[in-house]
Structure formats: structure tokens, C-alpha cells
Amino acid sequence: MTKSEFLEILRQQLDGEMPSGEIYSNIHYYDQYIDKELLSGKTEEEVMNELGDPRLIAKTLIDADEGPLYNSTYQDVPYRVYTSEQLSYSLTDYTQTDYTQTGYTQEDPFADSPVKKTHKLDLTTWYGKAIVILAAAAIIFLLVTVLSMLIPVAVVLVLVGLVISMFKKKK
């Protein structure tokens, strides 16, 4: 497997599973790592064998990122992928740090997405259930606090009303 094939498989596996900025960062990291290893004297085949399967790396990265939030997919900035004929690498190419030499380019990966992302509370997770329990406890606490203040005031008003009505009846 070549460097460009490795990075392309990695990108394909990450696409839709994490934000485009994170995909860019991960691919850029592996691109730089491979370049560094090649400069240290290793062959491309040795580096690829050390790294292993890009699908397994992608699965690990996705699991570490906790995958798509609440079963939604991220809206990615599209990559421009070049064919192998459009790419030509030589030993001098590996000394450059330009990310576009791998065949991937993208417009500002950290720009705000025009799509508004909404988050839904997932009640199938422990933290979703914990949030609901805490919210219910807070509401009950507020009700008890308000009622504990209103009940004495109401009792006093009722007693004052009874006393006034008793004095009116005596006259």
C-alpha cells in the first residue's frame, strides 16, 4: 500500500464520522508522520507495515471521538481527491510540509458550518438519564421551596380572615 492509498482509505473511513476539521487534522498527522519516517531512512513499505490497516486506525479514531453525536452525521467540507496520475512523488516531495501534496485539499476546515446543528438528549445513555433525573430533582426542590414559603403566608392570611370575620359577627 502506498502513502496516498493509506491516506485516502483513512479519509474515506473517517468521512461522515467526525467533523471535517478533525478529519483534516488526523490525515495531516499521518501524512507528516509518514514523511518523518521516510526522511529517517525507512521505505514507504516499512512505514505502511508499521502503521497497519488504515481502517483499524479510523475505527480507533472514531471510537476515541465517540462517533457522530446523537446519531446525526456531520456536514463536511468536500475534499478534492486527485487520481494517482495527477500525483507524482519524488524523494524531494517528502521534505515539504504542504498538505495538498497528498492529494487532499479543502477550504478552511475550521470555518463555521452554515448548517445549524441541533442536539437531542439521548435517553439511552447513562448521562441522558442522569440529566433528566437532575432536572426533575431541581424542579421538585423549587416547588418545595416555593410552597414552604407560601403555605405559612396563606395560613396567616386565613387566620387573619377568620379573626376579622369573628369580630364582624360580634358587632
Question: 146-160 as b/e, with b when 16 or more CB fall inside 10 Å?
Answer: eeeeeeeeeeeeeee
Q: Check residue 33 and give its pLDDT.
A: 92
Q: What is the pLDDT of residue 113?
A: 55
Q: At what angle do helices 20-39 and 54-65 cross, to 10 degrees?
A: 140
Q: Quick one: pLDDT at residue 54?
A: 92
Residues of the chain with pLDDT under 70: 66-119, 171
Collapsing DSSP to helix, strand or coil, 15 comes out as strand
Question: What pLDDT digit, counting tens, does each position of 55-105 carry?
Answer: 999 988 888 876 444 344 444 444 445 454 444 444 444 444 444 445 555
Reported pTM: 0.41
